[in-house]
């Protein structure tokens, strides 16, 4: 089996206080391995999106621990978390979180801009990502002028433009007709097969869940079934993530330590918060698309 990328131990997440306290997750333990395609399924309100937000380091558990390549993430500085999300994770969420008034191209470029990629290179990469989702011809359109399926494809382009290790998709086909939904799904699995990108997909769609190697079923904040026999791995993991984490562990100044709740970034706009620009991104060249 491949390396463990994300490991969750006894995750609990409560919302609200006292009488209005609600336990959305009640002790979830799982390992996600590199290159896996994982479906998280369950009824509305069962805790799927909550779990995905925790795994994607967009929110913090009330209790429990998430490790990335074996490194605990709870005390990582906000800027390190932003760096990991920006460089290693891609997000495809149902509510599109796009800048509606900006062009399609600029929406896709945004993560690269945040990552500090130069003008020419980020244009080249964004156009290449738009070609992948077959939307290059719409690059100068306003994002608001696209159809729902096209917007979803722009989200995929934006999710892949930084060459992520993991794509988190929350109901990627919700509200789409089946033909457009199929296109989105094929695209995600192509990325999984060809580039080894790990897919974590929250879905109500049983057909989509069946396409994933692994199905995790959630009920009332607990895992009730997991099709994978989960074996603990002892490995070194992704080198760049290790570097980001190690660098953070060397930091002595604790004054910008991660706040209890990440600075309002429980959404894509927050994730793309430019307060903590990320530099030194390593982007593979793809001369074909020049």
Taking the complex as a whole, the smallest distance from the CB of residue 84 to ligand ATP amounts, in Å, to: 22
Sort strands 22-33 and 4-15 into parallel, antiparallel or unpaired.
antiparallel
- CA gap 166, 152 in Å, rounded: 17
- Tell me the residue nearest to Mg ion as measured from the CB: 49
Stretch that binds ligand ATP, among 42-50, 95-103, 145-153, 251-259 (CB under 6 A): 42-50
* Closest to ligand ATP by CB, 53 or 87: 53
Query: Of 48-56, 139-147, 150-158, 238-246, which part binds ligand ATP (CB under 6 A)?
Result: 48-56
Q: Which stretch binds ligand ATP (CB under 6 A): 16-24, 132-140, 147-155, 248-256?
A: 16-24
**DSSP codes of every residue in 197-211:** -EEEEE-S-HHHHHH
Long-range pairs for 241-246 at CB < 8 Å and ≥24 separation? Answer: 241/68, 241/69, 241/71, 241/84, 241/88, 241/165, 242/69, 242/71, 244/80, 244/83, 244/84, 244/87, 245/68, 245/69, 245/71, 245/73, 245/76, 245/80, 246/71
- Which position among 2, 10, 15, 247 is part of the footprint of ligand ATP (CB under 6 A)? 15
Question: At closest approach, how far in Å is the CB of 106 from ligand ATP?
Answer: 29
**Residue 15 or residue 119: which is nearer to ligand ATP going by CB?**
15
Q: Which is nearer to Mg ion, 90 or 172 (CB)?
A: 172
Among 7, 31, 49, 150, binds ligand ATP (CB under 6 A): 49
Contact 60, 238 (CB under 8 A): no
Q: Which residue has the tokens 């800027």?
A: 79
Q: Which is nearer to ligand ATP, 40 or 133 (CB)?
A: 40
Binding residues (CB under 6 A) for ligand ATP: these are 15-16, 22, 24, 42, 44-50
């Amino acid at each position: 089996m491949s390396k463990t990328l994300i490991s969750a131990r006894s995750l609990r997440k409560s919302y609200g206080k006292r009488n209005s306290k609600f336990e959305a997750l009640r002790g979830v333990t799982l390992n996600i391995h590199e290159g896996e395609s994982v479906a998280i399924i369950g009824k509305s309100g069962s805790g799927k999106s909550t779990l995905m937000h925790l795994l994607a380091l967009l929110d913090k558990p009330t209790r429990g621990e998430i490790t990335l390549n074996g490194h605990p993430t709870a005390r990582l500085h906000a800027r390190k978390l932003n760096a990991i999300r920006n460089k290693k994770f891609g997000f495809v969420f149902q509510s599109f979180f796009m800048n509606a008034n900006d062009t399609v191209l600029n929406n896709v470029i945004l993560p690269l801009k945040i990552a500090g990629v130069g003008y020419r290179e980020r244009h080249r990469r964004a156009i290449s990502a738009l070609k992948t989702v077959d939307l290059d011809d719409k690059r100068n359109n306003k994002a608001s002028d696209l159809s729902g399926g096209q917007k979803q494809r722009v989200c995929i382009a934006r999710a892949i433009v930084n060459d992520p290790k993991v794509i988190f998709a929350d109901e990627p086909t919700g509200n789409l007709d089946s033909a457009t939904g199929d296109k989105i799904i094929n695209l995600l699995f192509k990325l999984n097969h060809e580039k080894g990108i790990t897919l974590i997909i929250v879905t109500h769609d049983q057909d989509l869940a069946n396409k994933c190697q692994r199905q995790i079923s959630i009920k009332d904040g607990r895992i009730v079934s997991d099709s994978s026999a989960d074996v603990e791995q002892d490995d070194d993991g992704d080198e760049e993530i290790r570097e980001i984490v190690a660098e953070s562990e060397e930091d002595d100044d604790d004054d910008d330590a991660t706040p209890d709740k990440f600075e309002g970034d429980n959404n894509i706009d927050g994730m793309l918060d430019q307060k903590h620009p990320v530099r030194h991104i390593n982007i593979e060249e793809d001369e074909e698309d020049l």
